[in-house]
Structure 1
Amino acid sequence: MLNLRKAITLPLAILSFFFNLFQTSCKFVVDVLREFQDQKAEALSLKHKMDHEVKTYKEWLELAHRLDELKGIDIWKKVNESDKYDYMGTEDRMFKLKELMISKDLHGMEWSLRTQLHRNICGISNPVLYKNCSVGTKELIENYIDQVCEMLDYIKDAPTNDAQELIDKFYFFRDTSHSFGRTALLLSGGASLGMYHFGVAKALFEENLLPKIISGSSAGAIVASYLCMHSDDEMPHCFNPSRFNLDMFGGGCGVSQQFRHSAIRKILRFMRSGVLMDISKLQQCLRDNIGDVTFEEAYKKSGRILNITISSNQKFSMGPSLLNYLTSPHVLVWSAAAASCCVPGVYKPVSLMAKDRRGHIINYHASGVQFSDGSIYADLPVERLSELFNVNNLIVSQVNPYVIPFLNANNIDTEEKGTVFGKIKHFLFQESKHRLLQMFEYNLVPKRLKFLERLLTQTYTGGITILPADFEVKNYTRLLTNPTIPEIQNCLEQGARRTFVRMSIIKNRCRIEMQLQDCLSAIKKQMVSDQVFCYKNGVMAAEDVAVESSGDLVRRTNALTSSVSIPSFNILDIYEEE
């Protein structure tokens, strides 16, 4: 009987053990799946808040860090290895920089930075490295940038024994800054969608990343003009929707006014004069918001370099023109912005206005020369900006209604085309574009449609491209209507949120450039304080210059006639007002 009981008990115990093991395993799997589902739900909730609800970058950043933690991206950031950049070269350079800092070898630091410093060294600016992260990238890359900035600060603060050493330090920062290049913000055309540009600019300004060089075409020209009219102290007030004169298309924003300027009225105007809109309304709106200010006056006031693209109606013109304080210092900004908005069929071409030496407003060109939309021929004037201002890093805010449908926000800065469907769509688009260009090449398209060739061939993206506006029907139905204050507020918030997504790559691409600019400015101030100034072949004595109480420099001799003669060396002018 005892043996029988033992014979039954042992199998039951084994069966109970496996049952408990199975039960525990099932519970573990269920808990893991439940935790996974909870994390997935939390991730979706965080993503929704980041895309639709947050108001500030600080709020967005907190959610982004949590999202990266849920996705396990923090582990990826700590691992240096990747086939997307030269991690071994980055490690080697960082090790050498640390050695130089430890040894305090000032000459070695300057030599190393002058010969090796550029924006995409070892591929650290590859957009793919930022694609999977909500915020940041590989820690090695961020540590390398930190190390470079720390070294630049050390060189700036290093004591100098005489005036010549200070001059040498000035030349080091000047030349290094020039070789590193400059960043520009390019604002595309897009009619009323251009209001989204304000959100992009607001986000960049609040993080001290708004470039000093801003270019705009069509609607982007209006936003760029407004931004470059104000100093940093005035800028926070510029993003208040109630400060705008909204009557850009005529008729105000009320229901009765909109009825008067309905589609029927626009069609009647088009049949009568060949255009849909009254250009005088836009000109008056721009003049009310900007005032009678020239490009040169705007630059002196804000320190920002405004650029506006326009196209001439002259048969033998040299193509689209880029207006700024170098190429057209006396042109009135509002007239240039209006000309850049003159889309054929929407607004008639206009003349540029300028100020003469007495301050009187006159025609800039001879009678009959008129200008129209710059975005059709040069939405993003990349080459000209590079020639004039040494620009090699582009932040593009793209809201052009005929461009948005063909851009994918997830892969816009990379060579990846996403899904199979995305690759097929890209192939079909490129093939159609190629066939259309062949038709233009063999003159199979009417001359009046020749402008379409330029639309197809120009570039609409940059190194960093932001798509603040969505491809939605409601955006297209209001292209030529005055935005209301709530709509402007929505544009500000959505434009800012779309910029938050790109903030990490923008910061990493711009930090060294901004550090160089800050160091150069500090050296200039030290030179003013010590009354040491650059001479063509050495040092100019302090008695040759006078320093006003405001800190501006006044030349007493003509010894520095060759001081700054290269436009792309704007940062070199030690007499430039800080």
Structure 2
Amino acid sequence: MTPPSTSSPSTISLLIFFTFLSTLLSYYLALTSFLSSFYHRFSSPKTFSTAALQLALKNAPSYAHWEATAYALDAALGNDRWRNAPESSLYDHNLIAARKAHLAAARLSGRPNDLATALRAGLLRNIGSIAAPALYTRAHAGTKLLIEAYIAEVIRGLEHLNARPIPKAQDVPLAANSMLASSQLKRDFFRNTRQAFGRTALVLRGGSIFGLVHIGVARSLLLHGLLPKIVAGAGASALAAAFLCAVPDVDLLSTIDSVASVKSNYNSAFPYSGQMVAFAHQVCTMLGQTTFEEAHARSGRALNIALAPSTHAVPRLLNYLSAPTVTVASAVAASLGPSGPLATPDSPPHLYCKDHAGNITEYAALFLPKDAPKPTYTRASLTEDDDNDSWSVPSRSRDSPYTRMTELFNVNNLLVSIAPPHFTLPGTADPHRRSRPRNVSSSSTTLAFPNKYSIVPPRVVRAARIICLHRLRAVARVAGMSPGLRAALFPDPAPPDSRAGGCTGLALTIAADAPGEHGLVAAVINAFDPRKEEKAKETIKVGEKAVWPELQIIWARCAIEFVLDDLYAMACKK
């Protein structure tokens, strides 16, 4: 039997050589294929144009530049086709189209009763889910054109009713059958319609370091006619809230510009930056002995400041309805607490009020016995509860300041401004992220890929974020962290919305980035570095730019309400 032949060393070497060569060739082909696809993908002029537009959008110096760039970017990404097509599973487009046609027909018919009835019958802020956030994260410059046209038609109908002359007294049949037969009936119509539609409140959160961001947010809203008439704040944000509600609209822009031009002459007092310490003293000087009632009469806005008193005898939410004679400056100092920039160890904060003769007296002396101890105040929160401290999960107690505000002012829509630094759970989707458009070539959507974490259900993300924040606050509380430091690291939890079982209908969060180009850590270090000159104008500009991507959804939710406010005010003057 012949033994099996063995391969010679030369044969084995040749086999290894050809194997190595084939492997190298396969890697070469794969690499050239990858480089070819990479070249064709990223060398497209359209892709470079979208990249340039994205950069221009981020660095836009004004809203006019931002808006023009947003329209160009939507055209490059194909989002304009999405806006033109009314169909979408995100809202009831058939209902909105039918409502728009019905309102237009009623307006053109010349029968004001039909138009008034049609408006009152379905005038809801979120009718057909037109206020759903997903409708405003696809395109940069707006949402479905059908939604914008519907809101514009509602506004035209309201203005048409306001401009319609009141029937003359001798025209008895026409006057008897008209819902707007007199000035009083017209006032009642606009008042009742506004009451049914609900009110919007601007809720300010955080701000011990970069509180002037709230001023920038308000400035941007004011320039676009979208600044709410109800403003709320607690702790450091009470400073910005008091500032906005102490100046009428005609003087607010110039007053904000004066704040931006003032240089800080105060040192930082952790956790308050020197910028905020200077702003606190400037606000108190501007307020003087102004009361809540006087501030409302001056600006037309309802200021709400939350307190955390040691006794139940003192209201936990101060405004022109619950405490009209209390001075705003003392309420701000009490909301900041004993560690605030307006308090000293020898002079803890106390509430003061103005009597009928204009004399300033202590507020607690009006209802507490003379031998009773004076109430003390700690840092307040809009969502705190008796059974939970200010860092707990948002309270739904009827005694919480937030719930009290929504009941007093019929609030069903919130604009929540969050000043940096604010904690976000790593891996959560960016609220400003625009999704990848459909029916568009991949070469034009290089910068519009969905976030890789978007596959996680939103409910799971929200639950994980709440649990993580709760654990961090618990650790900070057990470790004995001061309230001021906790306020800087973990801002107050957002008020509950309808999805969380709260009493409000809609809520939109405006979260500004830290000022500067080197990130949050560098911005915080610079804020407490006495050698660095803090620029209030830059911080205010950051707040302004944070509003620009959200203006369309704010307009969609608030435009009808603000038109009703203006028309009701005009009807009351007649």
- 2:247 corresponds in structure 1 to 230
2:144 to 135, 138, 154: 138
Q: Does 2:332 correspond to 1:301?
A: no
- 2:554 corresponds in structure 1 to 506
Is residue 192–residue 483 contact of structure 1 (8 Å, CA) maintained in 2?
no
- 1:464 corresponds in structure 2 to 508
CA–CA distance in 1 between the matches of 2:193 and 2:130? Answer: 19
1:155 and 1:427, CA in 2 relative to 1: closer, same or farther beyond 3 A? closer
- 1:497 corresponds in structure 2 to 545
User: Structure 2 matches for 1:505-544, cutoff 5 A?
Assistant: 505-526=553-574
Is residue 416–residue 494 contact of structure 2 (8 Å, CA) maintained in 1?
no
Q: Once the 2 structures are TM-superposed, how far is the Cα of residue 455 of structure 1 from its aligned partner?
A: 7.9
SS of residue paired to 2:225? coil
AA of the residue aligned to 1:371: Y
Q: Alpha-carbon deviations, 1:64-108, whole Å to 9, x = none?
A: 111111111110001011010011111111122222123222111
CA–CA distance in 2 between the matches of 1:509 and 1:276? Answer: 35
User: Structure 2 matches for 1:357-506, cutoff 5 A?
Assistant: 357-366=356-365, 368-375=374-381, 377-378=383-384, 381-399=401-419, 401-403=421-423, 410-411=430-431, 419-420=452-453, 423=456, 428-432=464-468, 459=495, 463-470=507-514, 472-477=520-525, 487-506=535-554
- 1:95 corresponds in structure 2 to 101
CA–CA distance in 2 between the matches of 1:307 and 1:205? Answer: 19
Q: Once the 2 structures are TM-superposed, how far is the Cα of residue 175 of structure 1 from its aligned partner?
A: 0.5
Is residue 199–residue 493 contact of structure 1 (8 Å, CA) maintained in 2?
yes
Q: Alpha-carbon deviations, 1:122-167, whole Å to 9, x = none?
A: 0001110000111111011011111111111111112222475332
Q: Once the 2 structures are TM-superposed, how far is the Cα of residue 244 of structure 1 from its aligned partner?
A: 7.1
347-356 vs 357-366, greater mean Cα deviation: 347-356
Is residue 103–residue 119 contact of structure 2 (8 Å, CA) maintained in 1?
no
Q: Once the 2 structures are TM-superposed, how far is the Cα of residue 358 of structure 1 from its aligned partner?
A: 2.1
1:403 and 1:479, CA in 2 relative to 1: closer, same or farther beyond 3 A? farther
AA of the residue aligned to 2:54: K
CA–CA distance in 1 between the matches of 2:273 and 2:165? Answer: 65
- 1:546 corresponds in structure 2 to none
1:282 and 1:97, CA in 2 relative to 1: closer, same or farther beyond 3 A? closer
AA of the residue aligned to 1:391: V
CA–CA distance in 1 between the matches of 2:84 and 2:481? Answer: 54
Is residue 241–residue 488 contact of structure 1 (8 Å, CA) maintained in 2?
no
Q: Once the 2 structures are TM-superposed, how far is the Cα of residue 376 of structure 1 from its aligned partner?
A: 7.5
Name the % identity.
Answer: 29
AA of the residue aligned to 1:459: P
Q: Does 2:386 correspond to 1:342?
A: no
- 2:352 corresponds in structure 1 to 353
Q: Does 2:64 correspond to 1:58?
A: yes
Q: Alpha-carbon deviations, 1:198-230, whole Å to 9, x = none?
A: 110111111111111111122211111111111
Q: Once the 2 structures are TM-superposed, how far is the Cα of residue 478 of structure 1 from its aligned partner?
A: 5.5
1:97 and 1:436, CA in 2 relative to 1: closer, same or farther beyond 3 A? same
1:483 and 1:40, CA in 2 relative to 1: closer, same or farther beyond 3 A? farther
CA–CA distance in 2 between the matches of 1:245 and 1:51? Answer: 27
- 1:551 corresponds in structure 2 to none
Is residue 241–residue 489 contact of structure 1 (8 Å, CA) maintained in 2?
no
CA–CA distance in 1 between the matches of 2:454 and 2:107? Answer: 51
SS of residue paired to 2:322? coil
- 2:45 corresponds in structure 1 to 38
- 1:186 corresponds in structure 2 to 203
395-404 vs 131-140, greater mean Cα deviation: 395-404
Is residue 351–residue 363 contact of structure 2 (8 Å, CA) maintained in 1?
yes
Is residue 235–residue 381 contact of structure 2 (8 Å, CA) maintained in 1?
yes
Is residue 383–residue 495 contact of structure 2 (8 Å, CA) maintained in 1?
no
CA–CA distance in 2 between the matches of 1:283 and 1:239? Answer: 14
369-378 vs 473-482, greater mean Cα deviation: 473-482
Q: Does 2:151 correspond to 1:156?
A: no
335-344 vs 352-361, greater mean Cα deviation: 335-344
User: Structure 2 matches for 1:195-214, cutoff 5 A?
Assistant: 195-214=212-231
1:37 and 1:354, CA in 2 relative to 1: closer, same or farther beyond 3 A? farther
Q: Does 2:330 correspond to 1:323?
A: no
1:356 and 1:280, CA in 2 relative to 1: closer, same or farther beyond 3 A? farther
Is residue 232–residue 304 contact of structure 2 (8 Å, CA) maintained in 1?
yes
Q: TM-score, normalised by structure 2?
A: 0.71
Q: Does 2:71 correspond to 1:76?
A: no
CA–CA distance in 2 between the matches of 1:218 and 1:295? Answer: 17
**Gaps (5+ residues) in structure 2?**
1-35, 170-180, 366-372, 385-389, 395-400, 435-449, 498-505
AA of the residue aligned to 1:420: Y
Q: TM-score, normalised by structure 1?
A: 0.71
Q: Alpha-carbon deviations, 1:277-334, whole Å to 9, x = none?
A: 9x999875542232221111111111111111111123x578x811111111111111
- 2:114 corresponds in structure 1 to 108
CA–CA distance in 2 between the matches of 1:336 and 1:66? Answer: 48
User: Structure 2 matches for 1:278-293, cutoff 5 A?
Assistant: 284-293=281-290
CA–CA distance in 2 between the matches of 1:409 and 1:225? Answer: 33
- 2:16 corresponds in structure 1 to none
AA of the residue aligned to 2:102: K
Q: Once the 2 structures are TM-superposed, how far is the Cα of residue 519 of structure 1 from its aligned partner?
A: 1.9
Number of residue pairs aligned between Structure 1 and Structure 2: 466
CA–CA distance in 2 between the matches of 1:503 and 1:458? Answer: 20
Is residue 260–residue 536 contact of structure 2 (8 Å, CA) maintained in 1?
no
AA of the residue aligned to 2:243: Y
Q: Once the 2 structures are TM-superposed, how far is the Cα of residue 246 of structure 1 from its aligned partner?
A: 6.2
Q: Alpha-carbon deviations, 1:235-261, whole Å to 9, x = none?
A: 1212225567666xxxx35xxxx5xx7
CA–CA distance in 2 between the matches of 1:51 and 1:80? Answer: 29
CA–CA distance in 2 between the matches of 1:99 and 1:448? Answer: 66
CA–CA distance in 1 between the matches of 2:413 and 2:462? Answer: 25
CA–CA distance in 1 between the matches of 2:454 and 2:164? Answer: 57
- 1:533 corresponds in structure 2 to none
AA of the residue aligned to 1:199: G
CA–CA distance in 1 between the matches of 2:464 and 2:131? Answer: 30
1:226 and 1:374, CA in 2 relative to 1: closer, same or farther beyond 3 A? same
**Gaps (5+ residues) in structure 1?**
1-28, 267-274, 527-578
SS of residue paired to 1:511? helix
Is residue 311–residue 372 contact of structure 1 (8 Å, CA) maintained in 2?
yes
Q: Once the 2 structures are TM-superposed, how far is the Cα of residue 431 of structure 1 from its aligned partner?
A: 4.5
Q: Once the 2 structures are TM-superposed, how far is the Cα of residue 419 of structure 1 from its aligned partner?
A: 3.2
Is residue 192–residue 478 contact of structure 1 (8 Å, CA) maintained in 2?
no
SS of residue paired to 1:234? helix
CA–CA distance in 1 between the matches of 2:153 and 2:100? Answer: 7
1:296 and 1:385, CA in 2 relative to 1: closer, same or farther beyond 3 A? same
CA–CA distance in 1 between the matches of 2:335 and 2:557? Answer: 30
RMSD of aligned alpha carbons: 4.0
1:419 and 1:485, CA in 2 relative to 1: closer, same or farther beyond 3 A? same
